[in-house]
Chain A
Amino acid sequence: MAIRGETGEWEVVIGLEVHAQIVSRAKLFSGAATAFGAEPNTQVSFVDAAFPGMLPVINEVCVSQAVRTGLGLEAEINLRSVFDRKNYFYADLPAGYQISQYLQPIVGKGTLTLDMPDGTIKTVGITRLHLEQDAGKSLHDQDPRLSYVDLNRSGIALMEIVSEPDMRTAEEAGLYLKKLRSIMRYLGTCDGNMDEGSMRADVNVSVRKPGAPLGTRCEIKNVNSMRYVQQAIEYESRRQVEIIEGGGTIAQETRLFDSRQSTTRPMRSKEHAHDYRYFPDPDLLPLVLDPEWVEELRRALPELPDTKKARFMREYSLTPYDAGVLVADRETAAYYEAVARGRDGKLVANWVMGELFGRLNKAGKSVSDSPVSAAAVGELVDLVADGTISGRTAKDVFDEMFATGKGARAIVKAKGLTQITDTGAIEAAIDGVIAANAEKFEQVRAGKDALLGWFVGQVMKATGGKANPASVNEMLRKKAKG
């Protein structure tokens, strides 16, 4: 996003650190459960509460989820990584340190591609991915004087995924988050529910004159929705340009996003003045992965969005944009493909993206709880393709299917919607309409083409919509010519 300031254009440079909660029944270093929404402090082991003498033991599922995510980001998998302690005091950090990976993360450099709206692709570098524990939650609104602590989140496994400063607009940052979420959902490694806190982002923003070296960055902590990420970037980049153009300099600092005002403000210095005193956790041995095991995980990866998109474009003749939309979500892609297999992919894409998505959106539903099955949409598309019903009728049938869950063929039969293909019957209807509107038809004969549409409409009305509009049109033209 080039920002136009008083001194000309500014380039915005954005990097993201995403904290993604790993899909795992147990925590990173304890056997306690991880389900969202449980009563406070009901999913806490003595390890999570840092009782004396308790020791962490790595959860292998979380390790494999991190490796699979790394593989999905086409990243280097580090066969040896090290857990470090990040030390700081807070009431919801029971041990007084968070176990994280500092110098030797489990996943190194990778890439992620953004599907731009114009159909092009932009590549964003991934710097690293590491495993770490989540902290608990402090509740400051339960008592006027006291704070409460809920340790259910304490020890839950997170992946911190750090991007290179490769993004230039708020839109790209949004696309990055969507793509990352899409990949993790395909892999089943993170559910990506930002409103449940299972995906949060720290946003690094700086500005510079095009071609100049990187400017000083500010980090906006813990932004928990895609929209907020974009708003934060927009506000923060303008703020920085205004400061620099006003003769000031940017202080490298940590800021908070204020969602009510869509602004950012500096954290109080106490909130971030930490010297974390990282050092290798002596309770844990270095994490050493068997290369064979990593290869097994690689072989078992599902088809990921980029590969699927390319295949959809190839097999179903889709545009990059349509393919991108359809593969963004694993269920949608599966749904589309179930309909499209053996049918006209382009036509099916129109039905799925236009008719189905529109109705789902209106009903606030997702593909996975669509009242119309893929098989049912296929049936409807077939009825249109073989001329049994018109496209116009099909849309009404689809409404009925969506409302009742009934099959297309059953609805067409019950309502007698089968298209009239008997030209004799259509001709009789046309003749009737012409006879009743002889004067108007004279005008058509005289060349007033605009009126032809009106006649088509009248005939369709007379046939209860069952006539094929294209044939009606063609027959009317013949009659007008004489």
Chain B
Amino acid sequence: MELTDLTIAAARTGLAKRSFSALELADAHIAAAAKARDLNAFITETPERAREMAGRSDARLARGEAGLLEGIPLAIKDLFCTEGVRTTAGSHILEGFVPPYESTVTANLWRAGAVMLGKTNLDEFAMGSSNMTSHFGPVKSPWTRRGDNRPLVPGGSSGGSAAAVAARLALGATGTDTGGSIRQPAAFTGIVGLKPTYGRCSRWGIVAFASSLDQAGAFARTVEDTALMLQSMAGHDPKDSTSFAAPVPDYAAALGRGVKGLKIGIPKEYRLDTMPEDIERLWRQGIDWLTAAGAEAVEISLPHTKYALPAYYIVAPAEASSNLARYDGVRFGLRVEGETLDDMYERTRAAGFGAEVRRRVMIGTYVLSAGYYDAYYLKAQRVRALIARDFTEAFQRVDAILTPTTPSAAFAHGEKTADPVQMYLNDIFTVTVNLAGLPAVSVPAGLSGDGLPLGLHVIGRTFDEETVLGAAKVLEDAAGFVARPY
């Protein structure tokens, strides 16, 4: 077996037994990444740093001081600030920006012994569902449709991270999820993607898109691996006022819980008329797998679901328009000189931001403007509260909720890009979760008619990642998903 095919759990065992060294493991991934540059998964590869970190991991392994992720090579979404390593957020406007600080989540990972392979490509400022909006070019999914070689999107915004894990360029990767940016690419690339509860991981040092929705999470090829990742990433951070002050439970221990006796909610509003038959079939299959494992499926209603996308596309751009005001050419990143200060701002931001970012900044500015605030932003916040209440009420009856992750399999480069609303519809099953701040996971569970991966989506109660992971493990075992790209 190739070292790059290992799971994180298996690699830990191998490293502990000294079957191979952390340096060998790192080198195997460095080589794999170098061979797979056509995917454009990485914006910045950091092989020297990877080897140096792996060397230190080997020393700690030798001393018996291994951390939870000791020697595990990971890819980091280029939205996490990494000290001394250029951080781009997929944007031209951060050109030349090298953070003098390390994000809390990545610092936690390094403390656990993980090794950084590089910074992965993403939609600009995490705004997108295709990874087509990156200033550094689109990411190509390692998957193709059966009998069709056209390049497909890996999903977004964490497309580079998902592609890297799916293509065996990293054992795991970090992502961020504002409206589905971990779960949708995980579903598109046939891997596991976990978005924890809002507040579970610190946002400190992550380039902000929409502060009330952004949450860091993990990609890996198994549910157990994502649990190990989350274990190391999560925790209270006094530097983030919205981070949750409570101990982090043992997620790996929750994997064996199963679903026996649990009630699994099936939201009737998620049955779309336009949903492809293979998605519909997968969902039914998922319900069968869980009931076979001892769960009871219960139909539930989340009546405000249809307002989720419009509400999301008001709240997220509103926050983004304000969060992105700091990219003004004054202190860091790109500056295009102008005649006056305003002229410099306009030239810098016009040159630095791509079309999708400009669109969202304008939408956000509009919905916060005097005279429109009540009609848009305030109303969207009310809708958001109603959506959260839908879930609270549902979780009085059920322990977790099962839905498909996406309404379709991955699409090709160039598809759906003409109409932003078509693109936004990709997030239809995932945005509600961000609006309510809940934990959710996408598990690869089957293939579409043309051979592309499809994901099932388990949503849990606030800070109940354990039930989510337990149910995801049952689905994973039942699905026995072994399909690989190429």
Contact = CB atoms under 8 A, between A and B. Distances in A.
Contacts of A147: 341
Contacts of B101: 46, 51, 53
Interface in B313-342: 318-319, 321-322, 324-326, 328, 330-332, 341-342
Interface stretch (A88-96, A185-193, A194-202, A413-421): A88-96
B167 interface: no
Contacts of A54: 204-205
Contacts of A90: 341
Interface string A322-349: 0000000000000000000000000000
A55 interface: yes
15 contacts: A51-B332, A53-B80, A53-B99, A53-B203, A57-B238, A57-B241, A85-B322, A87-B322, A87-B325, A94-B330, A275-B370, A277-B365, A279-B322, A279-B368, A279-B373
A56 interface: yes
A90 B341 CA distance: 8
A95 B326 contact: yes
A51 B373 contact: no
A469 B330 CA distance: 77
Contacts of B368: 87, 277-279
Contacts of B207: 52-53
Contact of B89 (A51, A52, A94): A52
Contact of B330 (A57, A149, A283): A149
A50 B331 contact: yes
Interface in A438-467: none
B240 A55 contact: yes
B289 to A, nearest CB: 38
B64 interface: no
Contact of B322 (A46, A97, A149): A97
B239 interface: yes
Interface in A20-50: 46, 49-50
A56 B208 CA distance: 13
Contact of B328 (A56, A89, A283): A89
Given A94-B330, A279-B377, A53 B206 contact: yes
B81 interface: yes
**Interface SS of chain B: helix, strand, loop or mixed?**
loop
Interface in B99-134: 99-101, 103
Interface in A45-93: 46, 49-58, 85, 87, 89-91
Contacts of B241: 55-58, 283-285
A386 B345 CA distance: 77
Contacts of A56: 241
A277 B364 CA distance: 10
Contacts of A282: 210-212, 242, 319
Given A277-B373, A283-B242, 5 more contacts: A55-B239, A55-B240, A57-B238, A91-B330, A277-B365
Given A52-B87, A282-B211, A89 B81 contact: no
A88 to B, nearest CB: 9
A375 B341 CA distance: 60
Contacts of B330: 91, 94, 149
Interface string B187-229: 0000000000000000111111011100000000000000000
A96 B208 contact: no
Contacts of B345: 89
A285 B373 CA distance: 20
Nearest to A279: B368
A105 B190 CA distance: 49
Given A52-B89, A96-B326, A149-B330, A57 B206 contact: no
A52 B207 CA distance: 5
Interface of B: 80-81, 87, 89, 94, 97, 99-101, 103, 203-208, 210-212, 238-242, 318-319, 321-322, 324-326, 328, 330-332, 341-342, 345, 365, 368-370, 373, 377
Nearest to B377: A279
Contact of B325 (A46, A58, A95, A149): A95
Contact of A279 (B80, B87, B208, B318): B318
Interface string A247-288: 000000000000000000000000000010111001111000
A96 B341 CA distance: 13
Interface string A97-114: 100000000000000000
Contact of A50 (B103, B204, B242, B326): B326
B205 to A, nearest CB: 4
Interface in A363-403: none
Nearest to B342: A89
Which 5 A-B residue pairings sit nearest by Cβ, starting from the closest? A96-B325, A282-B211, A282-B212, A277-B368, A53-B205
A52 B94 contact: yes
Interface of A: 46, 49-58, 85, 87, 89-91, 94-97, 147, 149, 275, 277-279, 282-285
A51 B99 contact: yes
B122 to A, nearest CB: 14
A55 B237 CA distance: 11
A278 B322 CA distance: 10
Contacts of A279: 318, 322, 368, 373, 377
Nearest to A46: B101
B325 A53 contact: no
B322 A96 contact: yes
A96 B321 CA distance: 10
B332 A275 contact: no
B99 A52 contact: yes
Contacts of B369: 275, 277
Contacts of A95: 325-326
A283 B94 contact: no
Contacts of B322: 85, 87, 96-97, 277, 279
A52 B208 CA distance: 7
A94 B203 CA distance: 19
Nearest to A58: B241
Contacts of B211: 282-283
A57 B242 CA distance: 10
Nearest to A89: B345
Contacts of B204: 53-55
A46 B318 contact: no
Contacts of B370: 275, 277
A51 B330 CA distance: 11
A55 B318 CA distance: 18
A419 to B, nearest CB: 70
Contacts of B319: 282
A96 B208 CA distance: 14
Given A87-B322, A282-B211, A57 B239 contact: yes
B203 A52 contact: no
B91 to A, nearest CB: 10
Nearest to B214: A282
B341 A91 contact: yes
B81 to A, nearest CB: 5
A57 B239 CA distance: 6
A95 B210 CA distance: 15
A52 B97 contact: yes
A147 B368 CA distance: 30
A85 to B, nearest CB: 5
Nearest to A276: B370
Given A55-B203, A282-B319, A89 B103 contact: no
B406 to A, nearest CB: 26
A283 B206 CA distance: 12
A52 B318 CA distance: 18
B81 A53 contact: yes
Nearest to B97: A52
Contact of A97 (B87, B203, B325, B341): B325
Contact of B326 (A58, A94, A283): A94
Contact of A52 (B81, B240, B325): B81
Contacts of A49: 331
A195 to B, nearest CB: 28
A53 B239 contact: no
